[in-house]
Structure 1
Amino acid sequence: MSEALDKAEAAVREASGNTDVLQVAKAALELARAAQQQAPAAPCGHDHSRFDARKWWTIGGLVIVGGCVACFLALAFAMAMVAVAIGGTCGTACLLVLRSMWHEAQRGR
C-alpha cells in the first residue's frame, strides 16, 4: 500500500508543480486505482469466508434441548409448589377444625 501511495503522492506533487489539468486528473485516477487494489484485510486475522453449517445446527439443537429441559424443570417446580400450597391449605383447615373441636370439648358441650 505504501508503494502505491508514494507513487500517487509523487504524481500529485508533479501535477501541482505543473498546472496541466491532464496531469492532475492522472494523479487522481492513479490514487483511486491504488485504493481499489488494496483489499481490506480481516481485522481479527482469520478467514471469514468459510461457513460451517454443522456447527450452527449443533448450537441451535443444544439451545432447543436446553430450553426444553429448563421448561420441564420450571413446570416440575411449579407443580411441586402447587402441591405444597394445597398441603398447607389442607393442614391449616384441619388445625382450625381440631382447634374448634378442642374448644368445644373444653367448654363441655
Structure 2
Amino acid sequence: MSDVEKAAAEAVQAAQQSEQYALLLAAVQAAQAQQQTPCHHPAPVPQSSNAGKWVAAGVGGSIFLLAVAVSAVAVAISAVALTVCLLVLRSVWQQIREDRQERRS
C-alpha cells in the first residue's frame, strides 16, 4: 500500500469514528433530557429600579444646564469685550479725524 492509500483509509476510518461519536453524543443528550424534570417554581420577576433612571436623568440635566449657563456667560463676556473694543476704536477714529482737520486749517 502506498502512503496515499494509507492516508485515504485512515481518513475513512476517522470519518466513521466521528459519525459514531456524534450518534453516541446525541444518545447521551437525549437520555439527559428525559431524566430532567421540569421545574414547577415560578421564575422570580426582575424588579426594575426607577431610582437609577431618575438619578441619571438628574445628572444629565444638571450637566446640560451647567453647559448652557457657561455658554451664556461666555456670550455675555464676548458682547462686553466687543462693545468696549468698538468704543475705543470709535474714539481713536474721532481723534484721527480731528487731527487731520486741524492740520488742514
Q: TM-score, normalised on structure 2? A: 0.54
Query: Which of the numbers 56, 64, 67 marks the counterpart of 1:67?
Result: 64
The amino acid that maps onto 1:82 is: A
* Aligned-residue RMSD, C-alpha: 3.2
Change (3 A) 1:29 1:61: farther
Which whole-Å CA distance do the structure 2 matches of 1:27 and 1:98 have between them?
Answer: 101
User: Following TM superposition, by how much is the alpha carbon of 1:103 offset from its aligned partner in structure 2, in angstroms?
Assistant: 2.9
Query: Which of the numbers 25, 28, 31 marks the counterpart of 1:30?
Result: 28
Q: Which has the higher contact order (CA 8 A, sep 6+)?
A: 1
Query: Residue in 2 aligned with 1:81?
Result: 78
Query: Residue in 1 aligned with 2:20?
Result: 16
Larger C-alpha radius of gyration, 1 or 2? 2
1:14-38 superposed Cα distances (whole Å, 9 cap, x missing partner): x939xxxxxx3x741533657xx8x
Query: Which of the numbers 54, 57, 65 marks the counterpart of 1:57?
Result: 54
Query: Residue in 2 aligned with 1:21?
Result: none
The amino acid that maps onto 2:67 is: A
Gaps of 5+ in 1: 1-12, 18-23, 38-48
User: Aligned pairs, how many?
Assistant: 75
Which whole-Å CA distance do the structure 1 matches of 2:27 and 2:62 have between them?
Answer: 57
